[in-house]
Amino acid sequence: MHGTRVALIVTSVAIGFALGNAPDIAEAQPAIGAVRDRSVIEDAACEFASESEHGTPGVTRVVVGLNLDCEILMNVDGADVRLRSSQRGACDRGWYLPAKGQRVSRTYGSGPIRVRADYSVIDACFVGDRCEYIKFEATFRISRGSATRSIRAKGQCSW
């Protein structure tokens, strides 16, 4: 009985593919790794490391960037991807520097990949009118098609 049921399911799926009516198969979540591009890492002012989850260690340099209002770089599915801000003119304006306690959200994209970043400033050091560093807690929601993955991270931007 069990073998007949399996054969029926396999046959139905095969017919669905042949007729172009294949059942929806859930896409795999995007795989997130460490950014590998050394030239970007050396020039980056901002660097984030993911927090460990479910016994899996965090990833260092999961997100890097020079200007979080403009763009970030992530390693998605084994390739470094430059993701631009969806805010028009964000790269032309320069970077808005949030204060301690502020929350800032940005949306970035490149091709089929979209990232919603929610930043929370946990510490900031200003010397006079100059910002030395800003520390963040962040949640990055990475979407590729219908598949989505969220990672929590901590990071810092320094100048």
Average pLDDT over residues 115-139: 91
pLDDT score for 61: 92
pLDDT score for 142: 97
Alpha helix locations (H) across 20-69? 38-43
- How many Å apart are CA 86 and CA 108, to the nearest integer? 6
Residue with structure tokens 């010397």? Answer: 127
H/E run at residue 104: strand 103-110
- How many Å apart are CA 114 and CA 147, to the nearest integer? 11
pLDDT score for 122: 96
Mean model confidence pLDDT for the chain: 82
Q: How far is CA 128 from CA 10, 125, 131, 132, 136, in A?
A: 69, 10, 8, 10, 21
- pTM, full prediction: 0.78
